[in-house]
Amino acid sequence: MATRIMVVDDEPAIGKLLLYQLSGFGYQVSYIQDGLSALQRLTAERPDLVLLDVMMPQISGWEICRQIRAYSTVPVIMLTAKSADPDIVTGLEAGADDYITKPFSMTQLHARIEAVLRRAAPASQSRLVARQPLRADTAQSSPMPPRQARPQEVDHADAPAGTATARPFRLGQYIHNTRLSQGLALHQIERACKIRWEFLQAIEHENWDYVPRDELRRALQGYTNYLGIDLERLIGRPQKKRTLMQFPFPFAAALTLVMVLLVVGMYLF
């Protein structure tokens, strides 16, 4: 049975990314957006580990951790943007087993989860942790992957009436499929391109609002370049308005002839 991890974070983008990434490592993951709901569901789900944010509405992660410690020894890892020394001390004093600040590396988070689980395992019992074979998106590969050709697309405008057309092209899904086909994990691309893994994941899910505006273009261009995707050809460049000088020669010649006839007409009549 896979290790059960409960993720408690009021930010849906972070929660869903952790759900996706940790599931890829073989864990059974549940995501809860509300701290009070997490306390209610803790006894029913009985997770093997809790990943807990600090800054949440209604009740802070520190208080949730204190209440968990009142009746449970389940390992708790604080995962928060509050990185000051007093914040870290407060979290550890509340009963957290580890404290990780955002932004964080997915590789480091995975290693810390495994370390906390090992320490929490009873000495007389070998704890079953997630040791499933790595999926395609976590496999190791060469530093620079081969280039991929763009898939064939159907021109919906030319499709006969009444016939079924292909699904609309999804950039994020295409990037995701290209990465999987090359056997790359997001943490590998994070190290190679210096782009945060949560930004990479947001791009794959087309969650454009999550990536800061000034980072989106750089992250998207760097990610697609690393995968060998020609982004400009993939999404197409906008058509520029044609000037008179760019029109074909017959049109220009005809226009010149009309102007000459008008001038001659003025002198004759």
Q: Across the chain, how many H-helices and E-strands are there?
A: 11, 5
Write the pLDDT tens digit of every residue in 121-130.
753 243 333 4
If asked whether residues 100 and 174 sit together in one domain, one would say no
In a domain, 264, yes or no: no
**The pLDDT of residue 92:** 93
The helix (H) or strand (E) run that includes residue 51 is strand 49-52
Write the pLDDT tens digit of every residue in 32-90.
998 889 988 988 889 999 999 998 888 889 899 999 998 889 999 999 888 889 889 99
Whole-model pTM?
0.49
**The pLDDT of residue 104:** 83
194 is in which domain, residue-wise?
Answer: 170-235
If asked whether residues 94 and 30 sit together in one domain, one would say yes
Q: What is the largest CA-CA distance in the chain?
A: 114
In a domain, 248, yes or no: no
**The pLDDT of residue 51:** 96
Last residue of a domain, one of 89, 120, 151: 120
If asked whether residues 100 and 206 sit together in one domain, one would say no
